[in-house]
Structure 1
Amino acid sequence: MVLVRGLLGDVLRRKRLRQGRTLREVSADARVSLGYLSEVERGQKEASSELLAAICMALDVPLSTIFAEVSQDLAREEALVLAHPSIEPAEVVASAA
């Protein structure tokens, strides 16, 4: 099963790393605890719409851009699962790498 919170966390992490920023910098700018932001990036916590808006503002990225990337990643994951129904998504991704 593909978890949207995991895909969302991956997209947020990619955006942050592309900017060369640390968790500490983004958490301070978003006024979110470092630990909580880390858990969101790792897909361990569901982010509220308010939290997502704050993170996006801190990253200077529109929320719609984040959702568009999550949607693309989700479509890719679903296609892999449909192509290999007996394999878990993480296994398909790992074998494709």
Structure 2
Amino acid sequence: MAVLLREAIGGSLRRARTLRRRTLRDVSRAARVSLGYLSEVERGRKEPSSELLASICEALDIALPDLLAEVIDDMARDSGLEVAGAGRRDTLVPIGQRHADLRLAPVRSGLAAPATPTAPVASVSAAA
């Protein structure tokens, strides 16, 4: 049977907490969540909202993307899949200069160089 996302998130949170030798009570106070609810999240019984997950990660002093990357790796390993680039973090660089183009694109294998800001192209007048 496949591992549920809430179970994988809970397991990763519990590992992070125990590695830091923090108690449920300590983390629940720092994250401003009830001890019982945090326990339910760690056991995979409750699925935390993104705000709550961010608060718990902050209380544990871990980055949310790092937690989610660990969850992905754990779920893939448990299902027998190999995740492309598992254990490797891609570098993100801006791919555009206009506000609408301010998305982030992964740089894979060093093939793309980080974008550098460029000045807008001015029109050339014929009266020079």
Q: TM-score range by the shorter chain?
A: 0.7 to 0.9
Name the structure 1 match of 2:60: 59
| Structure (1/2) with the larger strand percentage | 2
Alpha-carbon RMSD across the aligned residues, in angstroms, is: 0.9
Quote how far apart the aligned CAs of 1:55 are: 0.1
1:62-95 per-residue CA deviation (whole Å, 9 max, x = no partner) reads 0001001000001011117xxxxxxxxxxxxxxx
In the alignment, which residue of structure 1 is the partner of 2:27? Answer: 26
Q: Find the counterpart in structure 2 of residue 36 from structure 1.
A: 37
| More relative contact order, 1 or 2 (CA 8 Å, 6+ apart) | 1
Aligned length: 80
TM-score (norm 1): 0.80
Which of the two has higher C-alpha Rg? 2
- CA offsets per residue over residues 7-60 of structure 1, 9 Å max, x none? 110000000000000000000000000000000000000100000000000001
Unmatched runs of 5 consecutive residues or more in structure 2: 82-128
Whichever structure has more helix as a proportion of its residues is 1
Rounded to whole Å, the distance in 2 between the matches of 1:37 and 1:54 is 11
Structure 1 residue ranges, 4+ long, deviating more than 4 angstroms after superposition: none
Identity among equivalent positions (%) equals 61
Partner residue in 2 for 1:49: 50
State the distance in 2 between where 1:22 and 1:14 align. Answer: 12
